[in-house]
């Protein structure tokens, strides 16, 4: 879509959240103790956010909103390009427009959630659609959250941080489980060796 025919951006930093917008599915509190805050901020600095939108103005505006976060921002202008980026990079959060040519956001979300390698990636659908059927279709596709256009900057940042926080916590849990597993294996090996010595 060229600049001369592009519609005006569908976002506004001052837009209040719509009264009928779906409640956030990720109301995870941001950590407050110093150690957790430091760990989370360190995790943010290596996090990657993928923004997918076929409207260049909307893409640039969302990117500008998210520049306050110390994350790497990636972009894609259609569903097929988004899938290619995900395959190469594995972003930590995806902001996904629904109405796109060639492949809709619903289709992209469904493909990513059906793949064991990418189903863990949190997806926020960014949409001007507000019909109940569209929301249900998004949920069925596997989306983790919704943002309704015009997007409120504070709401956007809050939800992205929340999903990144969840991603960080899941990583900590996975590492803890792996550590416990290794300790148990070492104890088992040690017990077997002692039994053989007796």
The whole-angstrom separation of Cα 99 and Cα 126 is: 9
- Helix 132-141 to helix 105-114 angle (10° resolution) is 30
- 23 CB neighbour count, 10 Å cutoff: 7
Question: What size, in residues, is the chain?
Answer: 198
* Strand-pair partners of 143: none
Tens-digit pLDDT profile for residues 4-58: 444 445 544 444 444 444 444 344 444 555 455 556 566 677 899 999 999 999 9
Interhelix angle 79-89/105-114, nearest 10 degrees: 30
CA distance 125 to 159: 12
Q: For the chain, give me the number of helices (H) and strands (E)?
A: 6, 5
Distance CA 111, CA 106 (A): 9
* This prediction's pTM: 0.70
Other C-beta atoms lying within 10 Å of the C-beta of residue 100 = 23
Give me 16's structure tokens. 């209040």
136-171, pLDDT tens digit by residue?
Answer: 899 999 999 999 888 999 999 999 998 988 877 766
65 and 157 Cβ atoms separated by less than 8 Å: yes
Cβ proximity of 21 and 65 under 8 Å = no
pLDDT at 181 over 90: no
């Amino acid at each position: 879509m060229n600049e001369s025919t592009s519609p005006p951006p569908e976002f506004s930093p001052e837009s209040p959240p719509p009264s009928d917008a779906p409640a956030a599915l990720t109301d995870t509190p941001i950590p407050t103790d110093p150690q957790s805050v430091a760990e989370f901020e360190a995790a943010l600095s290596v996090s990657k956010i993928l923004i997918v939108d076929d409207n260049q103005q909307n893409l640039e505006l969302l990117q500008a909103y998210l520049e306050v976060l110390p994350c790497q921002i990636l972009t894609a202008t259609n569903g097929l390009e988004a899938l290619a980026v995900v395959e190469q990079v594995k972003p930590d959060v995806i902001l996904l427009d629904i109405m796109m040519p060639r492949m809709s956001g619903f289709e992209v979300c469904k493909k990513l959630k059906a793949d064991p390698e990418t189903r863990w990636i949190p997806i926020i659908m960014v949409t001007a659609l507000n019909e109940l059927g569209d929301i249900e279709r998004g949920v069925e596709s596997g989306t983790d959250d919704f943002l309704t256009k015009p997007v409120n900057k504070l709401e956007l940042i809050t939800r992205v941080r929340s999903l990144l926080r969840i991603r960080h916590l899941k990583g900590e849990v996975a590492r803890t489980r792996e550590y416990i597993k290794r300790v148990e294996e070492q104890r088992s090996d040690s017990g077997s060796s002692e039994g053989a010595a007796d």
